[in-house]
Amino acid sequence: MTPEREIWIRHFFYFALFAAVFHALQFLASLTLWMTTRSAALLSFGFDAAVSTIAALFLAARIQREWRNKYVAYGYMLASAAAFYLGASTLWRAELPQTTALGIVLAAVSMLAIPIMGSYMKVLAVEL
């Protein structure tokens, strides 16, 4: 293996770990904010972040492709079903979530960071 390819693989590994930590922090922030606001959107955002954390850890561990894809896909389907149920039940009961500046900050930081991380993953995929 060429030294340049080894460098790209190392970058990919560290980036996958960074993504896992970032998504874990998103999940914890979403869960904490959900406890105070009862916002279905924040909790569904947290579910997505939790599944993304697991996906990034699987990626870092380099598990066989078909296993990684299958279980991560099931995780996303389960998280989306839970988010749908939570949103529908909140809508059915006509509960209004509390507004919070931290929820807005969480969404803003994520909207900035996720596309940047996605662009870097695309560069890594092309190089590998």
Domain that holds residue 81: 3-127
Q: 128 pLDDT band (50/70/90 cuts)?
A: low
- Region of residue 96 (left: phi > 0; alpha: psi -120 to 50; beta: else): beta
Hey, how many other C-beta atoms are within 10 angstroms of the C-beta on 25? 14
- pLDDT value, residue 85: 84
**CA gap 26, 120 in Å, rounded:** 19
Instruction: Please state the rounded mean pLDDT for residues 28-38.
Output: 88
Number of domains in the chain: 1
- pLDDT value, residue 91: 78
- pLDDT value, residue 63: 46
